[in-house]
Amino acid sequence: MDHQLPVAACPPTHRLQHLETTVTIPHPRDDVWAWICDPATFIEGQIWPWRVEFLDPRTGAAAGFTEGVLTTHHGPLMNFSGVIGEVDAPRYRDLAYTYGAYMISPRICRPVRLQFWLEETSGGAATRVRIGVDAQMRKGWRGASRLVQRWFWKRFARWGTAAIRARAAG
């Protein structure tokens, strides 16, 4: 299935960069999905002054990972504001970042989209997670972005493995 959202105009100083990383988490897909779609996964443990919020746009109340929910992950040097797009449990989740989202500075990196695809492996005992990140990157920063993305998502896989194991232990 092709999941496409319109991309905001890219300034002439930037180029759209698509990066994909695939990690394997040694837990069943339903467990990985529950962890990836639990707001607590992203809210708890945030160190001040960073914060993550998920809000229902109609009520302003806290919300989960459902289509149309507004989200922002903000703090020094970052503002990842967006809206949850398509959610096809337990296979796919989409987040489109809104105009004004940035990392370091809007002059360097403007995130556009974050996607997760989950696939069972090892007879259902593990989950392959493919992560797609689209960003408008200023020329000259794309190589550094690739390195940071690879490091972060490998760390994300270790984080998920430990967190899901701890949930199961109860």
Q: What is the mean pLDDT of residues 83-112?
A: 96
Q: Where are the domains of the chain?
A: 15-169
133 contacts 101 by C-beta, under 8 angstroms: no
* pLDDT over 50 at 2, yes or no: no
Q: Is 137 exposed, middle or buried (0-12, 13-18, 19+ CB in 10 A)?
A: buried
Radius of gyration (C-alpha) of the chain in whole angstroms: 16
Which CATH number among 3.40.50.300, 3.30.390.50, 3.30.530.20, 3.30.110.30 corresponds to the domain 15-169? 3.30.530.20
* pLDDT over 60 at 7, yes or no: no
* pLDDT over 60 at 69, yes or no: yes
The angle subtended at Cα 21 by Cα 130 and Cα 101, nearest 5°, is 95
DSSP state of 121: E
Cα–Cα distance measured from residue 141 to residue 94, given in angstroms and rounded to the nearest whole number = 25
- According to the model, what pLDDT value does residue 53 have? 97
Per the prediction, the chain carries an average pLDDT of 93
- According to the model, what pLDDT value does residue 148 have? 92
